[in-house]
Amino acid sequence: MDAPVATIFKGARMTTTYVWEIVQIRPRRDPGKFTLWLSLEDRLVSVPLRIPREFYLNLKSPDTSLFDSSYDAESLVRTLPRNHPCRHLFRVTVPESEFLEMESHFAHLTNNPNVDGVYEMQIPHTMRAVLRLGTACTTTKENDISITRTQSIGLELNGLERAGPSLTKRAYLDGGRILKTLFLYHAINHGRHVLVLVLPSGKFQVHLASPAGSREPLRKMQEQYSALNSARKAAGIVSLYEYPEEIEAHFSYHKDEHKLMAALSAELGTLTDKNYSIVLSSSRDPEYFDLRVKNMYKFPVIPMLTDRAAHLVAVPLQWQSETVEKLMTQYLFFGSWLRVAVEQSTYFDVPVGNIGADAPLFFADIDFARRLWQNDSLLWWSPGLRPDLGGMEHDANAPSEDPNSSVDLANPGCYTNVCLAINVRNLALNSVLQSGIVNELEGTAGATAFDSTSHTLNDYTSGEARASATLGDSVLSPQTFGILKGMAKTWLLDKVRNPGGPSEHAVDHFWRWLSSPSAQMYDPSLQRFVQGLMKKTFIQMLAEFKRLGSQVVKADFGHIILVTSKPPGTASAYATYLLNAVNSHELFTHLELQPDRYYDFLLFMDSANLGGVVSEDPYSTSSNSGPCIAMSWNIESFFPPAVRTAFHQDLRRIIVELYTEHQTHADADRAPLRVIDNLTQDSSAVPQDEVQQKTNEAVTKYLETRLTRRLLGRVSKILASQKQAFTEEEMPAEWLCPLLPGSHRTMATPVIEYVKAMCACLTLIRTHSNEVGILRRNLLELVGVREFASEAQWSDPSARCRVPHVVCRTCTHVRDLDLCRDADLMERTSARSRPGATETKWNCPACNSAYDRRAIESTLIDNIRSLIAAHQAQDLKCTRCKQIRVDDMSPHCKCAGAWQLTVGRAEALRRIRVLTNVATFHGLPFLKEYAESTLARW
């Protein structure tokens, strides 16, 4: 055991051989200067850190005269983003202060005609330090300096190096147990501030500021705390923070935000020498408090990343109780959150105080960037929507969404066998890891695969070796894809070794990271390449389901509905066999296929219009409580209220009666189970063809008699009520058709729309098209419409506004949103930020977490840009022979036909008008403004 050492000598012992654990790298107000917060045993030490500006110039020809002698310019060779040719690459390293002083010099340097590209200019200084140092560092051999001296003169980033595993003797921050934390909670709404500083002793210092100057305290804090703390203990949640049994609240009232922040600063000033870290729970970033709280810089600040709604003061009548509940929920959650944050920081080697706002994307960015650096590749790190490609990203418009890049299959019909709904997860990860098998099965290894054949330098010089692979308009280098594949494989192996650990979180968010423009390492080309692999894998999986005896009813990347050949009662066992058989295939090893629900009977039009009998107990062959009916018909929402209820009830009854007819004959003709001799046919068994014939006869009789009489009576009643309503001076509200975001055509009278929609649903019964046709003719005749008149033709009253591959930030559930037709997206709730107002609720169906509305709105705005670009750059076709024009100069086609647009201007305007309706209905102000301005100038 070491002998006691005087405190004055402790700093001298901590030299280069000592590992410094990094809590946070924090920017200061001076450019290029940062604070490096280190954990040394039980102490927190702040060290000044200087980080230089570093970027790369790819020159067309070597010309060192471009550079000034006051900074370093080193020639080297690296792999450029998207495998762009590396000609004469120089790394420029210059202090940030000098970079700002010589702004004109560097502006001329980066815009010089000899410069082909400027790379890594957009990487923040803090992130560059995090990428290099990780969670622990030591000084280099050339910079032998004690910790005491570093506090006075500071450190250069180049004088530090990442501490290797051999130097790290314990877990990062001892698993977080050595952290002494203060909890700071901040909520705001319409000028009302609630700021709470919580000490480890349980003392709550509550600061309140209100524009009206009210002095209302937060009530029942102890009761709320005790109830939530008891629930936390009962749940057995592991926490790094020891919560007291009792709390003590002190209130301070302030007139405005400035005085509130000044009071907080004064309170923090009394705690500066006690080695505290601050865990900040706020919708505002730490920079917001750095500018307003003078003593905030004296503490490392760990942002607690949670939903914005947790930091929103409620409406005036309920603000006290709801604010107390949010405060206590966040306070009791932060201990377990900190434990998980330290685990993630340890795994991804990132200081706990530097975790990004979207942790899963941030960790993936860091891991991928480090792997690229280790393989001598430059980064395309960019905070914007486009990757940093050295300037080439601005030379072309962003590619439009390829409608063939995803899969959206639908086979309308009436399905009487059991249908199985399946949720699909990890499709992107599986497609990347099994990319070689996908291409082997399709015979495309030479075009889109990265083969493992080795090449000589002569092969690369002569161009015989491929430098990149292409899939559609995406270009990807083998090295980049290999790094991505290796990272995914590492995550998956670590997930298997440590279930529930940080790697599992990374695996779950893999596709969200690849497809999210908010990721710093987002590359549309990489996303489209992986999406192409996903499509290939998905099609192969559907083919495997078909080979095993099931047919596809509906399929997209996140959800599949299959119709089986099995009757009720055997669905669960068959589903287990089916999914195990698919997962046993080498191509689908890493896919997660989870049964969602079973339908004993399904009437399917499309993903927004379906109804059926859901099997509550898949193991049971009969239901004692009657069938459980699931109804989701978007078309009925366009009916006036007077007709909507009738349509819903009638269609529901039809589904129940059709299901009953099929089940009655299937049960009656099913022979009882008994032991029979081998090779002897059971004479009592009814042939399947005979059973089907009896069922068809029963359904035919039902359609021709009972259903025809009932629908004729229903239409007569609606027609009489409609005539009476039309005689009123003002049309009753229950007979007015609603205006919905998908409304795009003029609706006929309610009774005619009822007849057309009901007959469209019955047409799904393909085996009885003649009977349905006769019924349709009789109903149209009753309302005075000819069978083949244009007014009698049915079309979907709703347009579509599809946002594909929306990933939940909480559970990573993948879903295609239709903002015009999905019923759960139309539900309205009170807007918390605007008292008295309402807004639509966009929640994940799997975990009920809110979707990122801002990201979806940004996607829709990009869709308008892509639509305009595609319309302007589209091909021309002949009005007579429909051939596409192959040159740019011919005034007319060879057949003497005139040229016209492939997609007319009217169609583009219609789609933009739909987006305008969507923006108005769902409350998307930026989308509405952009769509309306586009319509105005077009």
- Tell me how far apart the alpha carbons of residues 642 and 653 are, in angstroms, rounded to a whole number: 18
CB 208, CB 254: distance < 8 Å = yes
Average pLDDT over all residues of the chain: 86
The predicted model gives 247-270 an average pLDDT of 93
pLDDT score at 191: 78
355, with CB counted inside 10 A (0-12, 13-18, 19+), is buried
Instruction: Specify the range with the lowest mean pLDDT, choosing from 429-443, 619-633, 749-763.
Output: 619-633
Instruction: Specify the range with the lowest mean pLDDT, choosing from 258-267, 550-559, 623-632.
Output: 623-632
- Token pair for 576: 């287990």
Is pLDDT of 914 > 90?
yes
CB 914, CB 797: distance < 8 Å = no
The predicted model gives 43-51 an average pLDDT of 94
Is pLDDT of 601 > 90?
yes
- Token pair for 843: 């929640």
DSSP-derived 3-state class of residue 220: coil
Is pLDDT of 456 > 60?
no
- Token pair for 730: 């003002």
pLDDT score at 915: 94
CA 307 from centre of chain: 15
| pLDDT band at residue 10 under the 50/70/90 scheme | very low
The predicted model gives 427-445 an average pLDDT of 83
Instruction: Specify the range with the lowest mean pLDDT, choosing from 152-166, 325-339, 464-478, 592-606.
Output: 464-478
Q: How do residues 114-153 score in pLDDT, each as one tens digit?
A: 999 999 999 999 999 999 999 999 888 777 677 778 888 8
The predicted model gives 309-327 an average pLDDT of 78
**Could you tell me which residue, 526 or 678, shows the higher pLDDT?**
526
Q: In 199-315, at which residue ranges do the beta strands (DSSP E only) sit?
A: 203-209, 248-254, 276-281, 301-303
Sheet containing 115-119, strands listed edge to edge, beginning at the edge strand earlier in sequence: 72-76, 88-94, 53-59, 115-119
pLDDT score at 779: 94
Fold category of 7-169 in CATH: DNA Polymerase; Chain A, domain 1 (3.30.342)
Is pLDDT of 469 > 90?
no
Is pLDDT of 840 > 90?
no
- Tell me how far apart the alpha carbons of residues 731 and 920 are, in angstroms, rounded to a whole number: 25
Closest CA to 40 of 67, 72, 15: 15
pLDDT score at 13: 42
The predicted model gives 866-884 an average pLDDT of 89
pLDDT score at 459: 52
- Tell me how far apart the alpha carbons of residues 695 and 661 are, in angstroms, rounded to a whole number: 7
| pLDDT band at residue 834 under the 50/70/90 scheme | low
pLDDT score at 50: 96
Is pLDDT of 305 > 70?
yes
Instruction: Specify the range with the lowest mean pLDDT, choosing from 39-53, 161-175, 455-469, 809-823.
Output: 455-469
Which is it for the CA torsion 398, 402, 403, 408, positive or negative? negative
Rounding to the nearest 10 degrees, give the CA dihedral for residues 450, 455, 457, 463. Answer: -60
Instruction: Specify the range with the lowest mean pLDDT, choosing from 2-11, 15-24, 459-468, 867-876.
Output: 2-11
CB 155, CB 139: distance < 8 Å = yes
Percent of the chain with pLDDT over 70: 88
The predicted model gives 513-536 an average pLDDT of 93
The DSSP output letter for 124 is -
- Tell me how far apart the alpha carbons of residues 654 and 222 are, in angstroms, rounded to a whole number: 56
DSSP-derived 3-state class of residue 425: strand
Q: Summarize the chain as % helix, strand, coil (round to 5).
A: 45, 20, 35
CATH 3.80.10.10: does it fit domain 409-453+467-630? no
The predicted model gives 175-187 an average pLDDT of 93
Is pLDDT of 266 > 70?
yes
pLDDT score at 12: 45
Residue 347 backbone zone (phi > 0: left; psi -120 to 50: alpha; other: beta):
alpha
| pLDDT band at residue 15 under the 50/70/90 scheme | very low
The predicted model gives 56-61 an average pLDDT of 95
pLDDT score at 21: 93
Domain positions in the chain are: 7-169, 174-357, 409-453+467-630, 639-671+688-792, 861-938
147 φ, ψ (degrees, to nearest 5): -70, -30
The predicted model gives 829-853 an average pLDDT of 77
CA distances for 390 relative to 102, 602, 709, angstroms? 21, 54, 72
Is pLDDT of 679 > 90?
no
What separation, in Å, do the N-terminal and C-terminal C-alpha atoms of the chain show?
81
- Tell me how far apart the alpha carbons of residues 261 and 544 are, in angstroms, rounded to a whole number: 63
The DSSP output letter for 352 is G
| pLDDT band at residue 554 under the 50/70/90 scheme | very high
Residues sharing a CB contact under 8 Å with residue 69, sequence separation 6 or more, in sequence order: none
| pLDDT band at residue 249 under the 50/70/90 scheme | very high
The predicted model gives 155-172 an average pLDDT of 82
**Could you tell me which residue, 701 or 467, shows the higher pLDDT?**
701
Nearest-Å Rg of the Cα atoms of the chain is: 33
| pLDDT band at residue 680 under the 50/70/90 scheme | very low
Q: How do residues 350-407 score in pLDDT, each as one tens digit?
A: 999 999 989 999 999 999 999 999 999 999 999 988 899 998 887 755 555 554 567 8
The predicted model gives 104-110 an average pLDDT of 95
Is pLDDT of 836 > 60?
no
pLDDT score at 397: 53
pTM of the predicted model as reported, rounded to 2 decimal places: 0.88
CB 579, CB 611: distance < 8 Å = no
